[in-house]
Structure 1
Amino acid sequence: MFRNLIILMLSAAAVVAGVMLYLLWQHKPLPEQALVYPQPRNLTEFTLLDQDNKPRGRADLMDKWTLAFVGYTFCPDICPLTLAKLAGVQQELAATVEQPLQIWFISVDPQRDTPEQLKQYVDYFKQPALTGLTAGHDQLFPFVRELGLMYAMSSTTEQDYLVDHSASVVLINPQGQVAAIFKPEMAPGEVPLINREQLLSDFPLVLNQLKLH
C-alpha cells in the first residue's frame, strides 16, 4: 500500500510539473514587431543576379539564415536607412545562430540597378554579409510575392521615378523557407523603418518560436 502511495504521489507530481511547464511555455514573451509563420513557407526555384554578375538561386539560401529586404538603390530613405540598420546589427544577430547569417538586398528596379550599380551601392555599407541582387520582373515578381512582400513600378516616363515597395524584412531559415517577417514601425508622417533595438530584442524570441514548431 505504501508503495502504491509513493507511485501515486510521483504521478501527481509529474502531472503538476507538466502543467507548470505548459503554463510557462504559454507565457513565453512573444516578439512585438515580428510575425512567425505557423508553418515555414517553401520557395520555388528562382534565378537572380548578384552585384558580381553571378547567378544566385535557392541553393544559395541553404545552410544559412537570410534576412531579405526589397528596394532599389535610388530609394531616397527607406532602403539606405534599413540597410544601414541591418548591416549594423548583422554581427550581433549572427552570434545568436549556429549557421552563417547573410543579408540579401533585392533590387526591384532592374532598369537602373545593374550589377555595377548594385556593387557600388552595397559596398558603401562595408558589410561582407550583404549581397545585392536583381533580375527581370519575370523572376522578381513571383519571388518577391513568395517572400510575402510587394513592389509596384511607376508608370511615369521620367527617369527620376520612385518605386513603391515593402519596408518589412523577411527571415529565411537554413532550409530555404520563409520563416518569419520583421515589420517596420508605422507612425503618421514618418518613414516606415525597422527599429534596431526592437529587431535585436525580437530576433531571439523569433528563434525560440521556430524551435517549438
Structure 2
Amino acid sequence: MFRNLLYVALAVAAMVAGVLLYQFSQASAEPELALVYPQPRALADFTLTDQHGETVNRERLYGQWTLAFVGYTYCPDICPLTLAKLAGVQPDLAAMVKQPLKVWFISVDPNRDTTEQLNNYVSYFEQANVLGMTAGHDQLFPFVRQLGLMYALSSTTQADYLVDHSASVALINPQGQLVAMFKPPMQVGELPVINAEQLLADFPLVLNKLNAN
C-alpha cells in the first residue's frame, strides 16, 4: 500500500516537473525572426487619415493589438505580398490575444494614394481588420520613425516612381506602445517578405516574453 502511494507521488511529481519544465522552455524560447524590445516604447500622438476619410490618432491604438506595415499601393511586389500574408494570418493571430488585432497599412506615398485609392487597394484583400491610412509627410516622417521603420522618397519626376521602405512589421500593444518588430527573412535573390508560418510561430513566443517582462 505504502509502495503504491509512493509510486503515485513520484508519478505526480514527475508530471508537475514536466509541466514546469515545458512552461519554462516556452517562456525562454527565442523567436526566430522577431525582436522584442526590453521596454515598451511610448508613441507620441500623430494624425493620419484612413481609407474611409476618418481621422486616425494615437487613441485608435488603445484596446487593440496592431501590426503596422509601411508601403504604398503602387508598390510592385513587397507590399501586396506582405499584406496578403498579414491578412491571411490575422484570424489565427487574433485568436492568440484577448483584445482585437488589427493590421495597419500606412502609405508613405500620399501624392498618389488618395482615400479612394487606399480604399480600393485595402478592399482587395477582403479583410475587415486590415486598414489603410496615410498623411502628409510632416506627420508620416516622425510617426514612421517612431515605429522603427523608414522610407525614402525618390527624386525622379517620372509618374511611375518607386518608394524605398522597410519590409518589417511593427507590433503595438493595447496601451499604444511599440513592443516588438517582426522581420522578413533576408535571402540572396529573394524578396524581403514576411514569412507567414514563421510569424505564426514567433507571435506566441513574443507574447510570452512580453508577459514575462
Fold equivalence (TM over 0.5): yes
Query: Counterpart of 1:110?
Result: 110
Aligned residues: 194
Letter in 2 for 1:184: P
8 Å Cα contact 2:27-2:212 kept in structure 1: no
Relative to 1, partners in 2 of residues 1:152 and 1:28: Cα closer, same or farther, differing over 3 Å?
A: same
1:142-184, CA deviations, whole angstroms, 9 ceiling, x for partnerless residues?
0000000000000000000000000000000000000000000
Other-structure match for 1:133: 133
SS at match of 1:90: helix
SS of 2:180's equivalent in the other structure is strand
Provide the aligned C-alpha RMSD in A. 1.6
> Offset of 1:28 from its aligned partner?
2.3
Report sequence identity in percent: 69
d(CA) in 2 for partners of 1:110, 1:27:
41
Deviation at 1:24, TM superposition (A): 3.6
In structure 1, the partner of 2:50 is 50
1:56 aligned partner, one-letter code: V
TM-score by structure 2 length? Answer: 0.88
List 4+ stretches of structure 1 deviating above 6 A.
none
Unpaired stretches in structure 2, ≥5 consecutive residues: 1-16
Contact 2:27 2:208 in 1 (8 A): no
Residue matched to 1:156: 156
Separation in 1 of the partners of 2:135 and 2:68? 15
CA distance in structure 2 between the partners assigned to 1:154 and 1:163 by the alignment:
6
- Classify the secondary structure of the residue corresponding to 1:175: coil
Residue 193 of structure 1 aligns to a residue whose secondary structure is coil
Is 1:31 matched with 2:35?
no
Instruction: Map 1:26-105 to 2 at 5 A.
Output: 28-105=28-105
- Structure 1's unaligned 5+ residue stretches are 1-16
Normalization by structure 1: what TM-score? 0.88
